[in-house]
Every structure is written in structure tokens, then in C-alpha cells.
Structure 1
Amino acid sequence: MKEAILHLEKADIYQRDSLVLSQVNLRLNKGDFYYLIGKTGSGKSSLMKTLYGDLLLRKGKGSIVDFDLPTLKEKDIPFLRRKIGIVFQDFKLLNDRTIYDNLIFVLKATGWKDSGKMKTKIYEVLEKVGMKEKYYKKPFELSGGEQQRVAIARALLNDPELILADEPTGNLDPKTSLEVMELLNEIHQSGKTILMATHDYALIVKFKQKTIKCEGGEVFEVVQQAVI
């Protein structure tokens, strides 16, 4: 049986005191790529936040990259986030520093000490996303697509077992969305496991992967033809 990177069993997902998803059963194996779809307010973001430790899993079983979600302590969250890469819709880059310094900041925050190794790693991930030549620029000097490429590079810094992409094309035009999706596809083909929340049905049709849907307080897998 394939190794489970993410496993939820009868999990209830809360946003503050409101139950938004109940009895969630979900399993992602190593190397899987799943889309997570659903209307605004259907619970997609709450599910994502529970997976990366922003919201506590109060009821049910859940594990992600060998961390037990119901017993996750605040002090464990930085260690969890070393093993997963998170890509946000709004990039979350620090505008007052260069791309290189944005990535140095993350490496230092996740325990890297050796400056030579940090430099090598930064150039490696920037090369992977086609942004090595722009390491000295600040985020506001880049286009939205370039900023998202940097955000993906940041997610790759610690060689994560799983990438959680929360609406990564949400702020991008169709052409740029396509480029970012092609990049995520390449990263998946290199062996990474990806869970991507999205509203962009054109991408789902073009890049066919397994799809799960949040609707009516439940999460279930849908066949590709029924997605639209």
C-alpha cells in the first residue's frame, strides 16, 4: 500500500465555533495531486488552515507528514511547516526586502545556519522556477506571475513532502495562471505531492487530476466530467 502523506478520518473542521465541514475522510498518498474545489464559504480555506496548523483539529483523526493534528502544539507548528510547502493566493512576500532576502528569512526561521548551504539552496529553487536572474529585485518590482513563482520557490526551500497551494492562481490573469500551473505540474512530476484549492475550472479541465469537492458541509471525490 502506498505511503499516506495526509490522512483525515471522521474529522470535523471548525472556523472559530462554527462547524464548516463534518466527518471528513481524506487520504493523499505520496505522489498524488488533488484539486480541492467548492464555492466561497464551502470550507476549503478552513480545511487548508487545519492542515497547516492555523486551525486546531478538534474532533476526529488526522495526520499530515507524520504530525498528529489533534495533538499538534503551537511549538510543533514551525517543524510541521518545514515538511510542507505552502503557496498562498496573495504571495505573502516581504516587500521591503529582495527576493533573495525573502528566502534567507524563511531558511533562518526554519533552522538553517550554514550561509553557504543557504545560498546554494536559494539559487537552486529560484532556478527551478525560472527566477534566478531576478534574485536582487524586490517583490513590488515583479509581475504577479513572477511573485507567485518566487512564492513557489519559497515553498520548495525545505524539500517538502507535501505542497498545499491555496488558490495559487486566484490573483493572476489566464495566461499567467497557465504558466504557474505548468510549473506546479512539473514539480508534481518530479515526485512532490500536491493539494491545490482552486476556483479555476479551466485549469482543472486542462490539467486533469483527481478532484475533491467541499459542498453542503461535506468533502467528497468527484469524477472529472462532473466537476463543471
Structure 2
Amino acid sequence: MSKQAQFNKHRVAGLLVAMGVVYGDIGTSPLYVMKAIITGQGGMQAVDEKFMLGAVSLVFWTMTLLTTVKYVLIALNADNHGEGGIFSLFALVRHRARWLVIPAMIGGAALLADGALTPAVTVTTAIEGLRDVPAYVQLFGAGQNTIILITLGIITLLFMLQRFGTNTIGKLFGPIMLGWFTFLGVSGFVNLVKDWTILRALNPYYAWLLLISPDEQSGNLDSRERLSGNDRC
């Protein structure tokens, strides 16, 4: 095997690992955000086309701006000899002013809080979808206690797997996320060709209309919409 072929093989493997470690988080956050937004407005029967276009536009532009502005333009250019993270950046700037330890502590606390809250919110929201499965309701009922027990079991298993390292986790979840994104892409395309209306949500004008609308509880909506980027903040 030539060096170029080996390089391409390792590059594909690296992309698969990165998909399992990083992009799985990005790919799942908007899902429970949309559920929270629609539920907060009273369910599907209470929302119209204008609201849905605005909500999808808000999620799309939140994710886009966080990725392009925060990461591509700022985070990737702010590193300490190739290392990133709040503490690595603090080590880079601490000689400039002693008070910078304060934002470093706040950032570290936010990082710990995010690490504790995000798995709980993500897994719980996913498991709550079982309530829509009649067989599950017949066996376990629609109570919250069973949901909590299943969630605790999954989170415990995931944290036990983390001891094997990020590389192992990436190899394990990479193929899963590849299948997940493939499913999202195919199902999204199939539904898109039936009705192209949702593409209007790419226009940020609809997001702005929803935010300034007094009829859509935009203040509460904004707080729910921020969940789409909570893992990236």
C-alpha cells in the first residue's frame, strides 16, 4: 500500500472518530430543541407555517454562527501551541493580567456545568420519545420514574466506557453517528422533494420576525432555542 493510500485511510478513520466524538453532539442538539420549542407553544396544533419557518431559521443560524464565527474565526485562531480549552488559553494569557484568572474560573465552572447537564438533558429527551411507542406504554406505563431509571442506566454505561479513552469512544460511536446522519439526510431529502417551503427558513428574516413578534412568546422561545447551541457555548 502506497503512502498516499495509507494517508487517505487514516484520514477517513480520523473523520469517522471525529464524527463520533464531536459531531454527534451537534447533530442531536437541534432535535430536542425543536421538541421544546413546539411543546412550549402548545404542540403542533398550535403552531403555523410562519412560526415553524422562524423556529427552524433560529436554530439554523444559531448553529451556523456558532460554528463559523466562534470556532472557525475565533477558537481555531486562539490556541496554546496547538492546545485549546479554557485552561490552556488561560495559561497563554495569565502573564498579561492576574485578574484573568476570574474569567478562567467562570469558564471552567461553565464547562463542568455543561458536562453535567448536557448528557442528562440529551438522553432524557431521547428516552422520553418511548412514550410515543404503544408497546412501551403497555409494558411500563407513561410514568416518569421508568424514564429516569433508563436514563440513569444509559448515562452510567456511557461514563463507564469513557475510561477507555476518547479514541475508543470515537471508534465506537463513529459508525453509529454515520448511520444517524445518513438517516437524517435521506429522510430529510425525501420529505424535502415533496415540499420545498422549509428552505425559506435559510432566510434570517424569518428568525428576526419570530423574535420580535409579540404573539409568539419570543422571550421564552429564545431561551429554548439557545439549547441548540448549549453544547457549543
Normalized against structure 1, the TM-score is what? 0.24
Q: Would you tell me which structure has more strand in proportion to its own residues?
A: 1
Larger Rg over CA atoms: 2
Q: Would you tell me which structure has more helix in proportion to its own residues?
A: 2
